[in-house]
Amino acid sequence: MRWPWIFIVTAIIGCDTPLRPDSFVDALQVLAVRATPPWPAPGASATLEALVVAPPGETVRYAWSWCPFSGSAANGYPCLFDELTLKAELDAMLPRSSATLPSYDLGEAATATLPHTVSPLLLRRLCNRAVDEALAGPETDCDPGLWATVALVATTATETVRATKKVFLSFTTSAADNRNPAIGGVLWHQQGSARLLDDQGSVVLPHDAAHALNADVPDSGAETYAPTAGGASRERLLLSWFIDTGALDAGRFLFIPGETPLAQATANVWTLPSAPERVGSPARLWAVLRDNRDGADWVSVVVTIEAAP
């Protein structure tokens, strides 16, 4: 049983300088995808939104889709059940039930909607059938709901990126009790005071300096829930930071209740480079907050670079 020791060794010898800072954005990139609510109840719909960053001047095109049964990540999440076959299966179970099946194609707008309109009874039967035919993994639990996969393809004139997100189509209202976390904004701390950054560039930061930041994440953002194993657990929160100039102390922080303090997980330092030629120009920062139950939120801010004092 060597896996934990190997990770300790890897942590020691492998933690070298990153090839490219995780947090630096200089090309088309999907930073986050959010479903609201994360786990839609029967009859509800999930609104799908994405935080997509592209180089200035580039126009982003969106293509949303979903699939009820996807293959493994190692194979690129192929959809294992084509739409026509799925409709036929539903009609075989209950005539005309396929009319409530949302099209796999969810459109090309910046946002999309995934309706949870198929009867949970039918979905459960479909799920069990998929397990029997090895279209779903053998460990798939079909009782509480269905893990659908939403895919986004973001395209500019020169680049294409693919993103995927799981949306839990719960079969009961109680199983859908899950909210996205909320990030109120990013505060900049200077000389004992804090100022909220906005997306208009109204806050001016000197270049060639380090700036203490703090994400406004309330303690209540980590929900308490009842895991399937029983008892009560509290969500973990992952805060990811991204910038288009300068450097951050760290790209990601993990808040684990009882082990890492929230204040530590939401703090960062943004160092703007020495770049006199950039005085007066904007610098962008994004903060993405995730919980470990598929919730997400984000904030985008812009600061204006000024000369060093």
Partner 1 sequence: MSAARGLVLISLCVARVTLAAGAEEVGGYGLDAALAATTAGVAGDPLLAAGDLPGVGRTPLGSGALVLRGANPGDAASLVAGIEVPTLYHFGGVRGVLPVAMLSGVDLHLGEAGAAYGRMAAGALEVRPRALAPAQTETTIDLSLMDTGLFVALPTGPQTAVAIGVRRSHLEPLLAVAVGDVDGITLTKSPRYYDYQLLANGGGVLGGALSLFVFGADDAASVTFANPADFSPAASGARLSFRQSFYRAVVLHHVDRGAALQNDLRLATGRDRTRAAMGDDRYDQDVLSTQVQEALRFAFNDRLDITVGADWLLQVNDLQLRMPRPRLEGEPAGAPGLGPRIALDLADQIETSPAMFVSLEARPFEGLAVFPGLRVDWLSRLAEATFEPRVFIRRRFAAGLGATASLGVFHREPSLEQTDARVGNPQLETGRAVHYTVGGFWRPLPFLMFDARGFYGVLDRLVTRTDAMAVDSDGAAPRRYDNHGRGRMVGLELSARHETHAGVSGFVSYTLSRSTRRDDIASAYRPFDGDQTHVVSAAFSYALPRDFGVAVRCRYASGRPTTPVVGVVFNADTDQYDPTYGKPNSARLAPAHRLDVRVDKRWHDGEQRFSVFVELHNVSSHRDPEGLQYDYGVGESRPQRGLPLLPFFGVEASL
2 binds partner 1 (CB under 8 A): yes
Nearest to partner 1 of 98, 255 (CB atom): 255
58 binds partner 1 (CB under 8 A): no
66 binds partner 1 (CB under 8 A): no
List binders of partner 1 among 207-226 (CB under 8 A).
Answer: none
Q: Tell me the C-alpha distance between 47 and 34, whole Å.
A: 8
284 binds partner 1 (CB under 8 A): no
Site string for partner 1, 141-180 (x = CB under 8 A): --------------------xxxxxx--------------
Q: Tell me the C-alpha distance between 285 and 305, whole Å.
A: 13
With 0-12 / 13-18 / 19 or more C-beta atoms within 10 angstroms meaning exposed / middle / buried, residue 198 is middle
30 binds partner 1 (CB under 8 A): yes
Three-class secondary structure of residue 261 per DSSP? coil
* Number of amino acids touching partner 1 (CB under 8 A): 61
Contact between 246 and 209 under an 8 Å Cβ cutoff? The reply is: no
16 binds partner 1 (CB under 8 A): yes
CB atoms within 10 A of CB 95: 9
List binders of partner 1 among 228-247 (CB under 8 A).
Answer: 236, 238, 240
Give least dist CB 300 to partner 1, A: 16
Using alpha carbons, select from 153, 167, 164, 72 the residue that is nearest to residue 113: 167
When binding is defined by CB under 8 A, the residue of 82, 88, 137, 308 that contacts partner 1 is: 137
Number of H helices, E strands in the chain: 4, 19
For residue 282, the surrounding DSSP H or E stretch is strand 282-291
Contact between 106 and 64 under an 8 Å Cβ cutoff? The reply is: yes
Residues engaged in binding partner 1 (CB under 8 A): 1-16, 18-22, 29-30, 32-33, 50, 73-77, 131-132, 134, 137-139, 161-166, 236, 238, 240, 250-254, 256, 259-260, 264-265, 288, 290, 292, 294, 296
